[in-house]
Amino acid sequence: MVTVFSGFFIMGFVDMVGIATNYIRGDLGLSAIVANLIPMMVFVWFLLVPIPTGIAVGKVGRRNVVLFALLVTIIAMLLPYVSYNFYSVVAGFALLGIGNTILQVTLNPLIASMFGTEKTASILTTGQFIKGLASILGPVIIAFVVSYFNNWKLIFPVYAILTLLSTALLLSVKIQENRRDNIAPTFKGTTMLLGRAPMRYCFFCVFLVVGFDVGINILMPEILVRHGGILLADAGIGTGIYFTAKTAGAFIGALILMKVKAFRYLLFTLCVAVVSYLLLIWVHNPIVIYALIFITSFACANVFSIVFSFALKAFPAKSNEVSALMIMAITGGALIPVIQGWVNDQWGFSQSLLVVLGCLLIMLFLTLKMRRYV
């Protein structure tokens, strides 16, 4: 159990892309839209890799596939540190996206299969809580190395070492796998499943929530600089608050979801997120901004895990197909920031804030459409 959950911790490394993009943009003198191609390089692989990963799982087992993903992640972290330029950064973040995709495809259904279906939302939320712990550490480590070493890029070897430790932990234990769960999905079977209404609603909800998550993390430092008068070097505090709230929301949500129906909780929290984000883009007091960042993140902390559980419950005999589609939906983290960057370049920063708001409003609409299926 500890070994499996350690994989969720490694998943959290991908969330450093938000604040890292801001540093890279400054270091290399990139425009907003070119800089936003960096998170695209991370998340585009969530479209291409999930189904081949499912096929590989059916042939060699989840443990071996996870080990391969961890090796890819180590290489991804070392590449931009050894040679820091635009091309090595793009390559490193692309490899990070590939490794993260493989981990998410293999670990989510694996941990869900260890428990009863009535606990699926709570268990997947617990995994997101572990992932959130790593997300919190990203801004903290960056702030520390900038303050004491004046080199934010030291975060790369730190993450490589942590991934190596997780790899050693996985190599030291034997995991009992259910071969029935390792049936490989097919491209045709997976895409046909997307034609079903409940699967389609879940897919696009995940697409938007990941796009929202990456988009707001790219916007957050600039919100603090423009609206709160905070220096960019200190703006990482906002990202730290965001992921602290996200982690707290996942932990508390896991407990609440044991008692409260998942749909009711999802609908309520999305309404809170819409209101808090609307306030966030208008206020100019840094303390209030921090508070609203916390509330917005807390409210959205469980969207991914709840929607994932809805899809697994709707199609219990097709867990691999469901997992592949849900992870493919994470490509929202690639497309939404590019749209956001384009709007920023064309019409300005204030207008780009509306892209994230649109994600929240459409998620709320899709959640209402899911009512009849959950």
pLDDT surpasses 60 at 180 = no
The model's confidence at residue 72, banded by pLDDT at 50, 70 and 90, is: very high
Ranges 91-100, 105-114, 179-188, 191-200: which has the least confidence: 179-188
- Answer yes or no: is pLDDT of 307 > 80: yes
Q: What is the pLDDT of residue 313?
A: 83
Under the banding of pLDDT at 50, 70 and 90, the label for residue 113 is low
CA separation for the pair 328, 336 (Å, rounded): 14
What's residue 96's pLDDT? 92
Number of neighbouring beta carbons within 10 Å of residue 63: 20
Could you tell me the maximum CA-CA distance found in the chain, to the nearest angstrom? 56
Mean pLDDT of the residues in the chain: 83
Q: Which CATH number is 2-373's, of 3.40.50.300, 1.10.760.10, 1.20.1250.20, 3.30.70.870?
A: 1.20.1250.20
Cβ atoms of 237 and 139 within 8 Å: the answer is yes
Mean pLDDT across 315-332: 82
CA atoms within 13 A on the CB side of 172: 8
pLDDT of residue 112: 65
| Helix, strand, coil % in the chain, rounded to nearest 5 | 85, 0, 15
For the residues 187-214, what does the mean pLDDT come to? 88
Contact 38, 90 (CB under 8 A): yes
Please report which confidence band the pLDDT of residue 331 belongs to, taking 50, 70 and 90 as the band edges.
confident
CA distance 69 to 172: 17
What pLDDT band is residue 18 in, cutting at 50, 70 and 90?
confident
Supply the pLDDT for residue 69.
92
Q: What CA–CA distances, in Å, run from 135 to 123, 128, 142, 192, 297?
A: 19, 10, 12, 34, 12
State both tokens at 209: 């929530």
The residue ranges of every structural domain in the chain are 2-373
The CA distances from residue 224 to 18, 283, 290, 342, in Å, are 14, 10, 9, 21
Integer Cα distance of 17 and 34 in angstroms: 14
Q: Scan for tokens 């920031």, then name that residue.
A: 337
Which tokens sit at 201? 């609603």
Confidence of residue 183 (pLDDT cuts 50, 70, 90): low
215-255, pLDDT tens digit by residue?
A: 888 888 888 888 877 776 667 788 778 878 888 898 898 88
Long-range contacts of 283-287 (CB under 8 A, 24+ apart): 283/227, 284/227, 284/228, 285/228, 286/224, 286/228, 286/229, 286/230
What is the tens place of the pLDDT at every residue in 76-85?
Answer: 999 989 988 8
Which residues fall within 8 angstroms of residue 269, CB to CB, at 6 or more apart?
A: 299, 300, 301, 302, 303
Convert the pLDDT of each residue in 139-166 to its tens digit.
777 778 778 888 888 888 888 998 999 8
How far is CA 15 from each of CA 40, 84, 246, 297, 333, rounded to the nearest angstrom?
A: 13, 20, 12, 13, 10
The pTM for the full model equals 0.74
Residue with tokens 């070097």: 233
